[in-house]
Amino acid sequence: MNGERKIYRIGVIAGDGIGPEVVEATIPCVDAVADRFDFEMRWTHYDWGSQRYRRDGAMMPADGLDQLAGEEALLLGAVGAPDIPDHVTLWGLLIPIRRGFHQYVNLRPVRLLPGVPSPLLDPGDLNLMIVRENVEGEYSEVGGRYNRGRPEEAAVQQSVFTRQGISRVAAFAARLAQGRRGLVTSATKSNGIIHTMPFWDEVVAETVFGHRGVQLESLLIDALAARLILDPGRFDVIVASNLFGDILSDLAAALAGSIGVAPSANLNPEGDHPSMFEPVHGSAPDIAGQGSANPVGQLWAAAMMLDHLGETEAAKTLTEAFETTLAAGVRTRDLGGRASTLDFASEVERRCREEQRTDEQPASDGMVQPQDQR
Ligand code: NAI
Ligand code: MG
């Protein structure tokens, strides 16, 4: 009954390089699960990115955020091009969206997928969530560059940490841990960075205390990085500042195999603004245009989006569909296979439409409560 179907308005920024390729592959799969669970996606495409920058001198229009504000969620491919400095593409599009829409949590699930070998000999039961602070911290606009070109030239960049900014991200991590194994690991460097990091430690401890069943440990970022490689299975939820979280999440994604399979969500947990879902990888200019990109990171990001919208069953079905596709040996080139982006996606789409749920592969995470049984 068409009239009663829930309709979700989704803004799509496919972006540059392989971005449009993996987005094009993903949309029919999401439509397929939507069909199956009787809701509808209304996609609006925004052709923002490097091409627009070359044409108009800006990655997005001046009123870009206003245009996106009416969407319920955003699906992003990737932005970046070899002929444009990366800070232009990043600060011209992604950062204004993350900050303007108060997407203060960057959430990255990391776990092993079938057919995606870890570079570690024994990755153990790698299944963790990284909660990265996404709008303040080390990535600030405060600072300057002085005496350019002179011997006394200097650059100053200030970190900005706020009580509210730390506590809301710590609270998110604690709630997430309550639905998992109950361990929050906080990344710190309060031995060396003596103002902001002790403040981080204090506010994280205050916030996590008071969440029932959650244990907090604080690890120095350097030791944490080493532990992540030596014993990744011991971690559950890691909460980190913007810079530390950025580095840890790429490290953890590498432990899980290919960068092509890792997803990320930029969340405004209160739902006052749209949240944005994207793969971890960039525009991969070295393989763009070949139709060989792995769409799993984008598919997984779309599954997180469905979960965020409350379509938990649909999210689970989509996740199972790409997992069983991988398990069946359909793989793109980065995983040593020969499937094209669209070959892989059409197999996922077929599985999404199938009436019979394939239950031999365990259900995987929704973003809020992963229940990986492997
Ligand atoms: P990248 O992630 O685009 O590529 C790194 C390597 O991984 C490349 O060899 C690429 O071929 C491979 N790769 C990435 N995604 C893949 C996929 N889905 N399937 C198969 N192989 C894949 O990172 P890189 O090369 O450092 O950056 C390229 C551009 O992307 C730069 O302009 C950068 O600024 C931008 N970028 C954008 C991001 C975003 O939109 N959120 C994130 C990271 C980088
Ligand atoms: Mg990064």
* Confidence at 364, pLDDT banded by 50, 70, 90: very low
Q: Is there an atom of ligand 1 within 6 Å of 173 CB? A: no
Interval 73-92: pLDDT, tens: 999 999 999 999 999 999 99
For the CA of 90, the nearest atom of ligand 1: 34
Average pLDDT, the chain: 92
Q: Which atom of ligand 1 is nearest to the CA of 76?
A: 40
Q: What is the pLDDT of residue 371?
A: 34
- CB-ligand 1 contact for 80 (6 Å cutoff): yes
pLDDT confidence bin for 362, thresholds 50/70/90: very low
Residue 2 has pLDDT above 70, yes or no: no
Q: Is the CB of 79 under 6 A from ligand 1?
A: yes
Residue 197 has pLDDT above 60, yes or no: yes
Closest Cα to atom 11 of ligand 1: 284
The residues of the chain that CATH labels 3.40.718.10 are 1-104+259-374, 118-144+152-256
pLDDT per residue as tens digits for the range 285-306 = 999 999 999 999 999 999 999 9
CATH topology classification for 118-144+152-256: Isopropylmalate Dehydrogenase (3.40.718)
CA dihedral 253, 258, 260, 263 (to 10 degrees): -30
| Ligand 1 centroid from CA 112, angstroms | 20
Q: Which ligand is nearest to the CA of 262?
A: 1
Residue 160 has pLDDT above 60, yes or no: yes
Query: Using 50, 70 and 90 to split pLDDT, how confident is the model at 356?
Result: low
pLDDT at position 50 is 95
Please determine, for residue 374, whether its predicted confidence score (pLDDT) is greater than 50: no
Ligand 1 atom 12, closest CA? 284
Confidence band, pLDDT 50/70/90 cuts, at residue 123: confident
Confidence at residue 368, expressed as pLDDT on a 0 to 100 scale = 37
254 lines ligand 1 (CB under 6 A): no
β-pairing, 127-133 vs 237-240, is parallel
**Separation of CA 236 and ligand 2 centre (Å):** 20
| pLDDT reported for residue 304 | 98
Q: Is 13 in the pocket of ligand 1 (CB under 6 A)?
A: no
Q: Is 294 in the pocket of ligand 1 (CB under 6 A)?
A: yes
Question: What separation in Å is there between the alpha carbon of 247 and the centre of ligand 2?
Answer: 6
Angle (CA) 339 366 35, round 5°: 65
Say if pTM beats, i.e. exceeds, 0.85.
yes
Please identify, in words, the CATH class of the domain defined by 1-104+259-374. Answer: alpha beta
Choice between 180 and 115, residue whose per-residue pLDDT is larger? 180
User: Mind spelling out the 3-state secondary structure of the chain?
Assistant: CHHHCEEEEEEEEEECCCHHHHHHHHHHHHHHHHHHCCEEEEEEECCCCHHHHHHHCCCCCCCHHHHHCCCCEEEEEECCCCCCCHHHHHHHHHHHHHHHCCCCEEEEEEECCCCCCCCCCCCCCCEEEEEEECCCECCCCCEEEECCCCCCCEEEECCECCHHHHHHHHHHHHHHHHCCCCEEEEEECCCCCCCHHHHHHHHHHHHHCCCCCCEEEEEEHHHHHHHHHHCHHHCCEEEECHHHHHHHHHHHHHHCCCHHHCEEEEECCCCCCCEEEEECCCCCCCCCCCCCCCCHHHHHHHHHHHHHCCCHHHHHHHHHHHHHHHHCCCCCHHHCCCCCHHHHHHHHHHHHHCCCCCCCCCCCCCCCCCCCCC
Ligand 1 within 6 A of CB of 78: yes
**Ligand 1 pocket: which of 259, 261, 341 to mutate (most atoms <8 Å of CB)?**
259
Confidence grade of residue 152 (pLDDT, cut at 50, 70, 90):
very high
Neighbours of ion ligand 2 (CB under 5 A): 246, 250
Q: State the distance from the centre of ligand 1 to the C-alpha of 253, rounded, in angstroms.
A: 13
Whether residue 360 is predicted with pLDDT greater than 90 in this model: the reply is no
Contact 108, 220 (CB under 8 A): no
Strands 154-157 and 143-146, sheet pairing: antiparallel
User: In this predicted structure, what is the pLDDT of residue 355?
Assistant: 64
